[in-house]
Amino acid sequence: MLDNNTPSDTDKSVRPKMQRPLRWLWLAVAVIALDLATKYIASSQLGYAQPVEVLPFFNLTLLHNTGAAFSFLATHPGWQRWFFALIAVGASVALTMWLSRIKNDEKLLAIALPLIIGGALGNLYDRLVHGYVVDFLSFHVAGWYYPAFNVADIAITLGAVALIWESIMGERRRKKAANASH
């Protein structure tokens, strides 16, 4: 009988499952803690919508986002709060299940998934407790302002980029390994 973690001698394409992949969830917890701490500091130290210039192109500006990324659906009457909360919970559960099944050679995936989970849960906390997401990082140039964001948004973005990178490079790596074994 074959162990799930040991490739068979007849099938060299089987990749061993990572031992204890859910241990990577510490990264999600760290993202949530950093996100909530920075949002608390921003909320207690900044006046609402009053920019504090840090650099000529960067301000700390406390804003409340009732929508999603880039204030998508922010002008709707409130249903989006629960819609985005449901998406965050569903995505976090699905990504945690995916994380539990990753393989040994998918280390970047082991980092990407908890980053996204932590970011989603950090923003979920805001939606459920406040009814909006606290944003405070504001970049601008020549009168154009990028939508304000927070640490959770950074984690989600970095996780998504890492996920895309892993899907491209991981597939190349697996094809190369498969060709080398033939």
* Sign of the torsion angle spanned by Cα atoms 143, 72, 115, 16: negative
The residue annotated as part of the active site, out of 3, 35, 126, 135, is 135
The residue annotated as part of the active site, out of 3, 11, 126, 153, is 153
The answer to whether 3 is a known catalytic residue is: no
* Residues paired with residue 11 on neighbouring β-strands, in sequence order: none
Q: Are 122 and 151 in contact (CB under 8 A)?
A: yes
Helix axes 107-130, 25-45, angle to 10 degrees: 40
Distances (CA, A) of 120 to 9, 93, 106, 110, 127: 41, 11, 21, 16, 10
Tokens representing 69?
Answer: 């990324």
The answer to whether 11 is a known catalytic residue is: no
For tokens 């009053």, name the residue: 50
| Active centre residues (catalytic) | 135, 153
